[in-house]
Structure 1
Amino acid sequence: MAIVTLSHPGKFNAMSRSMWRQLREVFARVQAGSESRCVLISGQAGHFCAGGDISEYPDFRFDSESLRAFHEDDVWGGLEAMLACDVPIVAAIEGNCMGAGVEIASCCDIRVASRSTKFGAPIARLGFPMAPREAQLVMRVAGEATAREMLLEGAVLDSGEMKARGFLHAVLEDAELAPHASARARRIASLAPEAARMNKQALRVLGANPPGAIERLLPKAYAYAESSEHREGISAFLSKRPPKFF
């Protein structure tokens, strides 16, 4: 299991430009490797991610070309690497989960949060909209109504509300969050890794719902038939023993 920790001391883990680039590099390595069966991502010191590092913004936000490079290269580069990762990703979310935090969480497969976590994207208070690709991501995962409420009203929602809206898979007491998230990640890591990768690949295509999505998947959909992982899973079940996926 790979552990990814968002860390920006004193700023509730707000994402700097360098952090976005590091996020891209980390998930590119996870995708290229074969040793990780699950990624557990969380924030340091009681918070997930409070958004972007606003102290950096005057350096590039007031020029359209540099602003575009920030969102299209740095931010989307990190998010896209997460979305393209075939290894399952579990997010343990606590404290502040704002703006960039919601975007990062939206890239994860399983999202669990502490009861005290707050979610939002109140960037209208800062005088700018959410970038198009990022807005599309949040709208697709969190829902259009939630995206509109966060972006147009600056609404901040609690974990219970985000669970009710389908964004979260579970809400835990603060002390229970870390062990619960770790247990889910370990459970995923104990299962068939290639099956997980194939499921993520299929869900990515089906979620985009392009014309002919099923037809695109069919040529390779059953290529796992002779795999050792497939044989082990069936054999273990029939032998009434736990499977061993290496």
Structure 2
Amino acid sequence: MGEFLSVERRGKVAVLTMSKPESMNAIGTHADCDDIINTLRVLGEDRGVSAIILTGSGKAFSAGGNLKSMQERKGIGVLDQPDSTRANYRRGVQAVIRALMDCEIPMIAAVNGHAVGLGCDLACTCDIRIAAESAKFACSFIKVGIVPGDGGAWLLQRVLGYPRAAELFLTGDRFDAQTAKDYGLVSEVVPDAELLERALAIADRIVCNPPRALRLTKRLLREAQHSRMSDILELSAAYQAIVHETADNREAINAFVEKRAPVFTGE
């Protein structure tokens, strides 16, 4: 893969670590964006991957965008004139968010430190979020005089509801891991040293299930965020017809009837 993400395979789990601790894992270049997008594409094509853990190196999960690049008007943000800036956002950071949202592999955010601005929104694209005790969060675009240009205005209110999301975006306030749990942004807060172990334990409870059904279940959950019930019923019937023809479905039923542990192959 590229230089921004390191990838470690642990059986059916892929651990993705943002690996620029010197910049607090800020995303500053199109190469950073392309690395994330290409990594997700490669993993998505690998039927041996059934869960992804996204975390950061050093003291940050991700500090979001690179302010130095913004100051110099280069990188993935502001450029020489508005139309160029608009196109720059679309091909860079917004393409990253689209790739994360389109990923059908269940994703766990293991927030190890500061998750600020875009960094917080990256965590919101994941299906499950847990945090280390030292983690800090902020939806702090307003503090540098910009709006959430990465889709965060859509993401956060679907996690927290409109009133809380509005409070966080309009104040830009920082908050700690326990507050994040109280808000419902993360489901667990664990000691720093136990974060990855806990994320892997959750991933193990996911990857023991049939791979095809896992991916289609996640797709249904994603589509249900913006679809009518009638549309989801139709999509559910179609997906159900697909998984009923898998070998893993037959194995699951046979194992249940025969009172034994199932052995799934992904077929």
Shorter-chain TM-score: what band? over 0.9
Identify the structure with the greater helix proportion: 1
> Structure 2 matches for 1:83-98, cutoff 5 A?
83-98=101-116
1:214 maps onto 2:243 in alignment? no
> Structure 2 matches for 1:39-78, cutoff 5 A?
39-57=52-70, 58-59=73-74, 61-62=78-79, 63-78=81-96
SS of the residue 1:208 aligns to? coil
The one-letter code sitting in structure 2 at the alignment partner of 1:144 is Y
Mapped partners of 1:53, 1:139: distance in 2 = 24
Q: Structure 1: which 5+ residue stretches go unaligned?
A: none
The answer on whether the counterparts of 2:21 and 2:59 sit within 8 Å (CA) in structure 1 is: no
Identity %: 30
1:235 corresponding residue in structure 2: 254
CA RMSD, 1 decimal: 1.8
CA offset at residue 52 of structure 1? 0.8
Q: Which has the higher contact order (CA 8 A, sep 6+)?
A: 1
TM-score normalised by the chain length of structure 2: 0.86
SS of the residue 2:108 aligns to? strand
The answer on whether the counterparts of 2:134 and 2:176 sit within 8 Å (CA) in structure 1 is: yes
1:6 corresponding residue in structure 2: 18
Give the number of equivalent residue pairs: 246
1:115 maps onto 2:128 in alignment? no
CA offset at residue 142 of structure 1? 3.5
Bigger shift: 37-46 or 213-222?
A: 213-222
Listed one character per residue, the Cα deviations across residues 175-216 of structure 1 (whole Å, up to 9, x for unaligned) are 221110111112211211111111111111111124732343
CA offset at residue 132 of structure 1? 6.7
The answer on whether the counterparts of 1:205 and 1:213 sit within 8 Å (CA) in structure 2 is: no
Mapped partners of 2:227, 2:57: distance in 1 = 36
TM-score normalised by the chain length of structure 1: 0.93
Q: Structure 2: which 5+ residue stretches go unaligned?
A: 1-12
The one-letter code sitting in structure 2 at the alignment partner of 1:228 is A
CA offset at residue 70 of structure 1? 2.7
The answer on whether the counterparts of 1:102 and 1:119 sit within 8 Å (CA) in structure 2 is: yes
CA offset at residue 150 of structure 1? 2.3
